Amino acid sequence: MSKIVQFAPFQSAVEAPFWHALAKKKLDIFQLSDDEQAIIGFYTSGQSVRDTTTGRSVEIPPRLSISNESLEFSPREALQNLQVNNFPAPGNLKNTNTIEDFKNADKKAILNTASEKVWQAIVSGESDTCPMQLVNFTILTYADLKKHKFYYWFSFPALLPSSPWTFVNEKGPSTIRESFSTTEINSLQETYAEYKSQNQANGNSAFFLVKRSTAADKVSIGSLAQWKEFISSGDTENVLLGFVDPSGLREHPGWPLRNLLAYANVRLGLQRVQILCLRDKLAKNELSSSLLLHVELEADAFYTDDAKSIPKSVGWEKSITGKLAPRLADLAPMMDPARLADTAVDLNLKLMRWRLLPELQLEKIQSTKCLLLGSGTLGCYVARSLLGWGVRKITFVDYGKVSFSNPVRQPLFVFEDCLDGGASKAQAAAANLQKVYPGVDATGVELSIPMPGHTVANESKVSQEVDQLRDLIASHDVIYLLMDSRESRWLPSLIGAQMRKLVINAALGFDSFLVMRHGVRVANEDMHDVGDNSNQLGCYYCNDVVAPTDSLTDRTLDQQCTVTRPGLSSIASAMAVELMVSLLHHKLGVYAPADTAADDKEPSEESSPLGILPHQIRGFLGNFNNMLIAGKAYDRCTACSETVINRYEVEGFEFLKKAFNDPQYLEEVTGLAQMKRESEELLNNDDWMNDDSDADEDLL
C-alpha cells in the first residue's frame, strides 16, 4: 500500500497587541455588530532551530500569526506593511457578543463558508492570479472586556478528495539536494529571489511554478497562471508546483499544500504531480532544507462528483490538549496599556537576542541604573536611546529651566514646558520620558554642580550640593557627563574615579563631537584577573596641562548657547549609549582595554559580542568621519590621578573648597604648575641655543 501524504496543520499564534486592538475595535467600532471582518494573517517559511542544551536540531511546526495590524489596517494596507519574509493569508474575524453566542455558533457552517471561498477561487480561476486565496482562515472570538479574557477558535479550511494523496514511491519526501544539482539550487535561489521581489507587494509570492532545464542546469519560475506556457513543450516531468512551506518538519509538508493539491487536480487536471516545498532557512535565501514530493491521486478519486456542491473539508484547530475545542487568552495581568508597553519593549529586544545575538544580556542592561548629568540636548537623546535598550532607571540632573529655543532640539520638551518662566529641565525631562514609556523609573533632580574657579559664596549650600551629588553617583551604575561647560564635569569625574564608576562623557563642537569612557582604577580584589593600573585609560582631563576654571562668566550670546549642527547631538548621544551597552557585555567590564582601529577589525573572542570597544570616539560631521583614539591615564591629571583622589579622600570638602575658590590650586597639587615653571625656565635658558650655534659652525 502506498504511503499516504500527511500534512502538518497550522498552529495559531496571536500576538498580544491583537487583543488590545480587538478590545478597542469592539468598543469604538464593532459595538453590537457580529458581522465578519476581513483581516490578513501571515506565516513564514518553515524553520528548524538548534537546541542550545542538547545541540540537536528542533523542527518547528507551521504557524499562522495575526497581529494588531491585522485589525488596525485594512487588508490592503496590512498587505503593504507585511514584512519581507512574511507571507499573507486572507481571513475573516467573527466576533460574537456573548459567551453563549460563541459556544452555540454553527461551526460546520462557518467552516463550509470558508471552504467555499477556497473552492470558488479554484474553480473560477481566481487562484491562478491570486493564489494566496488557497490559504484561508476564520477566527471566531468572544471578548470578555471586563475580565480581559478572550475566547477564540481558528479554522484553516482544507479541501478533501474522496481518497487521500499518496507518494509515488515508498520513500516519501526527499531533500532538494537529493534531486537538484548545486547549480540548479543556486539558480533556484536567484530566480525565486527575483520572483519574490516582483510579487511581494501583491502577496502572491508564496505559490509558483518551477521548470527545470536539465541541459543547462537552470531553473525558471513563473506564476500559476503560466501553467500552459510552462508545459507547452510537452515536458511535464520537469515542471513542479512550488509553495512556501511553513512547516519545518522533515516528513510532513505544511497545511497550504492540501489546497494546492486540490488546485492541481481540479484546475490543472493532474492526478500525479511533483511538489517543491520551499523552505528558506532563516529567511536568508538559503533553500537547502527544501523538500521534493512526488504524489498521486487514485484514478477514480475526485474532490466532488457534483458541479454544484463543494468538497468535504476539515480545518478547526485543536486545543493545546489535542481536542477539538476553543482556546482562551487570559490577558488580565497584561491588558493594561502600560503593561502592554512593557511586553512590547521587551519583545523587540528579545527578538534581537533570539534571532541575531544570543549573547545579548538584556537583563543586565535593564537593571543598569543611569545618571544623566545634564538634561539638555545630549541628555534628552541619551535618555531616548537608553529607553530603546530597555533601561528602566534613569535620573536627570540639571539646574536650568526650559527655554523657548529648547523644544526643537531637545526631544523631551514641548512648548508648554517653556511657559511661566520655564519648567525645571530635569523634572520636565523625567515627566515627559514617562509619557513616552510609563514603565521607566525616571526622576528629575534640580541641582547645581559646584565647579572649580567658581568661588564658594555659601559654604553650607555648596557642601550639601556636593553630598547630594555623591549620593546620586553612589546609587547609580553609569554616570553620563552631558553638561555644557568643561569645569562642570570635574567634580563628577573626580567622584566617579574615586568610586570606580563607569563614567561616559559626551561633548559637542559646532560640527564635531567627543564620546569617551573614563578609565577606572583597578580594585585590589580585581588585580588578579585584570592586572595593575599601568594600562588604565585616561579621563576627560588627562590630556590637559591646565586645570579647569571659570569659562561661564562674561560670555557673549554665541557662547551662552550650544551652537552645533542639529543632527550632531543625536549622533553623539547614540554613540555614548552604544558604548555603554558594548562595555556591559565585555568580560572585563569597566576595565576593558581599548580598540583603536575600526577598519575591517573583527572582535576577538574576549571582546564585546557587539563589536569593537573604543576608548574615545572623535567624530567630524564636516567630512562624515570618526576617529578612534586611546589614551592612558595621566599621573598629573587634575581629576583622576592618585594624588587628587588621595587628597580628596583625606581632606574631603576642604580640598574641594580650595579647588572651587582657587583656579590654580589643582595645578599646584598635581605638579602641573611646577612642570610649567620648569618648562619656562628651560625656554629662558640660552645655553642650548649657544650649543646649537657651535654645532652649526663645526658643521660648516
Q: Which three cell numbers stand for residue 582?
A: 558594548
Contacts of 428 (CB under 8 A, 6+ apart): 375, 402, 412, 413, 417, 444
Contact 520, 502 (CB under 8 A): yes
Closest to 679 in 3D by CA, of 695, 667, 665, 666: 667
If you count DSSP H runs as helices and E runs as strands, how many of each does the chain have, helices first? 24, 25
Choice among 539, 561, 637, 640 that is catalytic: 561
H/E element holding 370? strand 369-373
Residue of 167, 130, 370 whose CA lies nearest to 251: 167
Per-position DSSP letters for 563-582, written without gaps between them: ---TTHHHHHHHHHHHHHHH
The residue type of 25 is K
Per the CB < 8 A criterion, the answer to whether 71 and 39 are in contact is: yes
Q: Is 26 helix (H, G, I), strand (E, B) or coil?
A: helix
Residue 524 DSSP symbol: G
Q: Which amino acid is at 570?
A: S
Q: Residue type for 319, please?
A: S
> Which residues touch 191 (CB under 8 Å, ≥6 apart)?
219, 220, 221
Under a CB-based contact definition with an 8 Å cutoff, are residues 257 and 277 in contact?
yes
Q: State the Cα–Cα distance between residues 329 and 143, nearest whole angstrom.
A: 10
Q: Cell numbers of 15, please? A: 500576538
Active-site residue flag, 380: no
Q: Note whether 118 and 259 are within 8 A (CB).
A: yes
- Give, as one character, the DSSP assignment of residue 169: S
Cα separations in angstroms, 302 against 164, 168, 265, 297, 316 = 10, 18, 8, 8, 23
SS (H, E, C) 190-214: HHHHHHHHHHCCCCCCCEEEEEEEC
SS3 letters for 531-543?
Answer: CCHHHCECCCCCC
CA–chain centroid gap for 387, Å, is 12
The grid coordinates listed for 417 are 514646558
Active site residues: 561
